[in-house]
Amino acid sequence: MNRGSGWLSALSCSAAVTLVVHAAPQQAASDAELKEAEHDVPVLMQVLDVTPGMTVADVGAGAGAMTIVTARWLGPRGRVYSTDINEAQVRAIADQVTHGGLTNVVTLVGADASTNLPDACCDAIWLRDVYHHLKDPIALDRSLRAALKPGGRVAIIDFEPAPGSQPPPGVPANRTGHGILPAIVVRELTEAGLTPVRTIATWPEGPPPGGYFLVLFKKP
């Protein structure tokens, strides 16, 4: 799952949600992306306090590697909502799910201002490499809050802007480049009614310089 794939690129509920948006053309998750997800998913599930059998959402799921690995990790009693605003990408994920024999994934097409997830369905949600692409972050953040059960958690996984980089088109004017500052993430999700829990400065542990951070929130 390469950085910069972006945010462009369901039914009973029980645990965590991830939404990813992907701008690229329709594509399947590569072997390298699946291998990376196999490392990252168990660690993320621990941070989100998710256990097998819960419901999760991959918001902005891109090529779907996190969705596929999470579905296997949760087992058949769990559920993964996999969303993207790129409809072709959502179809590609659905095809991979079918070919992989997974029966616990629900695919959804999201929107700039809404996850399109059912209300109060999730124990947790994560957005990986997505938040810095959001064009209407406050509305989307409120949608995340609505999709969570009381006490549910959200993880924002993203990277800080490099000096001199240009923000993606259409994002709010307070962005300082291609990426997002953790302080802005905290301010915006707090405004949407979520409570910040902690920030992990380097995510996952031990990446090369320029890796991701993770900010964790909880619904009151």
CA dihedral 114, 120, 121, 127 (to 10 degrees): 40
Residue 19: pLDDT band by 50, 70, 90 thresholds? Answer: very low
Residue 28: pLDDT band by 50, 70, 90 thresholds? Answer: confident
Distance CA 206, CA 188 (A): 28
Per-residue pLDDT at 206: 56
This model's pTM is above 0.85: yes
pLDDT in tens, 50-107: 999 999 999 999 999 999 999 999 999 999 999 999 999 999 999 999 999 999 999 9
Distance CA 160, CA 158 (A): 7
Domain ranges of the chain: 16-154
Distance CA 63, CA 9 (A): 7
Say yes or no to pLDDT of 37 above 50. Answer: yes
CATH code that applies to domain 16-154: 3.40.50.150
- Residue whose entry in the numeric block shows the structure tokens 């700039």: 112
